[in-house]
Structure 1
């Protein structure tokens, strides 16, 4: 695996409320970062211009939209993301097969665009699932929704690192497994994720991509942190 491959597998989450703050991190990372996640916070605060600029610069851009709407609205949102240069868009697997299929059909208009189905949000626990009437563990629910997503033609799933190994066995080698909720020892605290893991552990378990935000972007030298992650992944793959 080349260094370029590894750098594209580490998705830097631009979880900021202004375009200026996000752009400052992008500038500091320079050529070291090849993949970015742009989520609801930044898109709502600043619009899609920064994301489109990243795509124009040759970066992979994950539009983490977590879409859950009627099929026509989801398809329209996927097309809009594709026109802005997105290479990945997330859709809630809980939305069901018809909505996932609509997203996949819309993405087919853009050769590089992939649909990943969000299984169980990384902040949720079994108790949270029970609260909304789901009588399964997070692992069981992730597996159920991953199979639904594969049948609907999705290119992969979004899941917590702790589910990656089971999902890789279930889905086989061809599907993407995108894992938010990765953490770094001594990095800024992040209490949003209930089921975190180190990037190397996530990739060893079967993740195709790891998403990392505050533990990298809020550090004094994010480029050095990113280089360390890629170095750890390279060493683990040898």
Structure 2
């Protein structure tokens, strides 16, 4: 599977871009084209933007073209999960948009992961295997999903499954980062959502936050994360520019 060609993208054996703030991926979590581009244009210093299922479903691939025209790096977070043939074909289409990172659900199994890896092997896009959603608590993992392993061991199992099929990137919660880094070393790219500072910083009502397994930026980076995915702490802040600068300061120290 190819690695991203740009020096701003972490490749195997590297641990981060030159600028600390380039380790932050800001999530465009909205269904509005206007709102998404308003965030992008008011934060020109942001290199990486995440386009997730909500925005991509609402506006489609034109948002990817708009980001590329602005010279941005794109994390297309679709978490593909279907039968192998479907995921393989969808991966081929997705990497054709010129995105830098694309997510695939590791829980889809080895055949599905292999189909995605084969579809992307001639592309510079790097595939990321999603281990376990950060919205799931340990109780939900055991009681609702009927998974006997605890979240950390289940995430490791899925990470190993994905690596065996050629994946060199993973999405995991901050709480699994240190263990995955220790086991896989520097050859794996670890992208970590679930980043929070404080309710007063995000402007969120903490009772409405659907993230369960969360950490601060500094703690996630110290544990071994390469990139941090941040949404509401920036986009829901009273002043996103100030919020992003505070995050930059947090990851720089």
Please give the TM-score of this superposition, normalised by the length of structure 2.
Answer: 0.87
| CA distance in structure 1 between the aligned counterparts of 2:69 and 2:150, rounded to whole angstroms | 41
Match in the other structure for 2:37: 23
Match in the other structure for 2:137: 125
CA RMSD of aligned residues (A): 1.6
2:91 aligned with 1:93: no
Specify the SS of the correspondent of 1:181: coil
Q: Report which stretch shifted further, 85-94 or 102-111.
A: 102-111
Q: Report which stretch shifted further, 3-12 or 208-217.
A: 3-12
Residue segments in structure 1 that go unaligned for 5+ positions in a row: none
| CA-CA distance at 1:221 after TM superposition | 2.0
Of the three residues 203, 224, 227, the one matched with 1:209 is 227
Match in the other structure for 2:241: 223
Contact 1:119 1:158 in 2 (8 A): yes
Match in the other structure for 1:192: 210
Partner deviation per Cα, 1:81-121 (whole Å, 9 max, x = no partner): 2222211111110101111111112112212x011111010
Runs of 4+ in 1 over 2 A off after TM superposition: 1-8, 55-58
Partner deviation per Cα, 1:49-98 (whole Å, 9 max, x = no partner): 11222123321111111111122211222222222221111111010111
2:199 aligned with 1:182: no
- The alignment of Structure 1 onto Structure 2 pairs a total of residues equal to 233
| CA-CA distance at 1:4 after TM superposition | 4.8
Match in the other structure for 2:3: none
Structure 1 residues 107, 56: CA separation in 2 closer, same or farther (over 3 Å shift)?
farther
2:119 aligned with 1:106: yes
2:133 aligned with 1:115: no
After superposition, residues 45-64 of structure 1 pair within 5 angstroms as: 45-64=58-77
After superposition, residues 27-38 of structure 1 pair within 5 angstroms as: 27-30=41-44, 32-38=45-51
